[in-house]
Amino acid sequence: MFRPIADIKPGPSLGFTFDGSPMTARAGDTVAAALLANGIQACRQTPVSGAARGPYCMMGVCFDCLVVIDGVGNRQGCLVPLREGMRIETQAGRRHPDGGQS
């Protein structure tokens, strides 16, 4: 469903991991766009029911793209530019800024 536009000349790629799996994406992509381009459709689980959620609005309004980036939770993947070597993880439930969960 989601894929890069074929007419855009590919730029340099960046390496990152998602839940420990190595992946690559285009420089200039956001974390959410990079996950979608790699076929990842769910990046968090809701705190109440554990339902899988994934990027939806892609502009910072819906909070469905929350992920853990380099150990810091509650990061909106659609607003964070991808950087080389990022460690991105699925966010399970609610995550406190100090890294703890509830």
What residues does each domain of the chain span?
13-92
Q: Does pLDDT of 2 surpass 70? A: no
CATH entry, 13-92, from 2.40.30.270, 3.90.180.10, 3.10.20.440, 2.40.30.10: 3.10.20.440
- HEC readout, 41-74: CCCEECCCCCCEECCCCCCCCCCCCEEEECCEEE
Model confidence at 43: pLDDT above 70: yes
Inform me whether the pLDDT recorded for 9 exceeds 70.
Answer: no
Q: Is the pLDDT of residue 98 over 80?
A: no
Residue 22 confidence class, pLDDT cut points 50, 70, 90: very high
Which residues are CB-neighbours of 24 under 8 A, at least 6 positions away? 13, 14, 15, 16, 38
**pLDDT on residue 77:** 98
Q: Is pLDDT larger for residue 21 or for residue 98?
A: 21
Question: What value does the mean pLDDT take over residues 44-48?
Answer: 91
